[in-house]
Amino acid sequence: MIDSTLKRALESKRFVVTAECGPPKSADRTVIEKKAQLLKDWVDAANVTDNQTAVTRMSSLAACAILKSLGLDPVFQITCRDRNRIALQSDILGAYALGIRNVLCLTGDHQSFGNHPQAKGVFDLDSVHLIETVRRMRDEGKFLSGDELTGERPAMFIGAVENPFAPPYEFRALRLKKKVEAGAQFIQTQIVYNIQRFREFMARVGDLGLLDKVYILAGVSPIKTPGAARYMRDNVPGLDVPNEIVERMEAAGKGIEDKKARAEAWRQEGITICVEIIQQLKEIEGVSGVHIMAIEWEEAVPEIVRRAGLR
């Protein structure tokens, strides 16, 4: 039995909300505590990122433990970039012992993107291997080596990610299938801005018979400024930001002289766009919820959830 609030919420068939909680570049636990208070009443579970974009931050494991102690259901994001199979399996056992029940298995951003590009990237396993490893520990009580665990198994709710918007497009739904076969029970997708393309992806996922095998949460993210919109459109591989959205962001600030007021107008439009996307996502078959990535803008989450009518 997997004792996960997130799992129960998904099983109840209600539209689930998860959000991201970014740990600080410091040893200050109060940062996590404050974010926890912001998100607590608005989400079913909260992800803690694992040195996202290869920038060193407080460990996901530690931050998850803090969230757990404050009554949230954390999703322990774990990447293959910084740890080998020995450490990964070790962290899964430790996470479970600290009360964490959800794990999101990712390959991880390459170290060249972060603040320590000279670091040695590990990549002993890839995300598919990691999913399989956690499942084996949970269901068979065995390590990757075949050795048996000597006691309680980590009964984790296993998650993975998929990006419908990166080539080869025809292969992405198949890759999702591989992850489900490896043991993925829920998926959080890359940020959706292009609803039409996402619909097509979900149709292909449906054709592969996966909709009753895995819960899919669509990724959404409120845009803060037109500059951010342009940057995401032009510089982030795997993100499809339609020009229409960039134009809406630009239009929102037009004619407003005061810097503060203009910034506020942009933020409002960013949230509005996010809410509209969520409302459209609710209509797509197979979408069980949304994963809100309001990076360093966790304050936006309650407003998004409320305006989208999810709470």
Residues that bind another protein (CB under 8 A): 80-81, 85, 107-110, 112-113, 121, 123-129, 132-133, 144, 161-163, 166-168, 171, 174-175, 177-178, 181-182, 190, 237-238
Question: CA separation (Å) from 161 to 33, 86, 115, 151, 266?
Answer: 26, 22, 24, 30, 29
Shortest spacing between CB 105 and another protein, in angstroms: 12
| Burial group, residue 72, by CB count within 10 angstroms (0-12, 13-18, 19+) | buried
Could you give the CA distance from residue 18 to residue 60 in angstroms, rounded to a whole number? Answer: 16
The residue (of 163 and 272) whose beta carbon lies closer to another protein is: 163
The residue (of 203 and 208) whose beta carbon lies closer to another protein is: 208
Which residues are registered as beta bridge partners of 267? none
End-to-end Cα separation, the chain, in angstroms: 28
Instruction: Return the amino acid letter for 113.
Output: F
The residue (of 167 and 255) whose beta carbon lies closer to another protein is: 167
The residue (of 43 and 218) whose beta carbon lies closer to another protein is: 218
Shortest spacing between CB 128 and another protein, in angstroms: 4
The residue (of 128 and 310) whose beta carbon lies closer to another protein is: 128
Shortest spacing between CB 48 and another protein, in angstroms: 19
Shortest spacing between CB 287 and another protein, in angstroms: 18
Shortest spacing between CB 211 and another protein, in angstroms: 19
Could you give the CA distance from residue 199 to residue 202 in angstroms, rounded to a whole number? Answer: 5
Could you give the CA distance from residue 186 to residue 266 in angstroms, rounded to a whole number? Answer: 33
Could you give the CA distance from residue 220 to residue 282 in angstroms, rounded to a whole number? Answer: 12
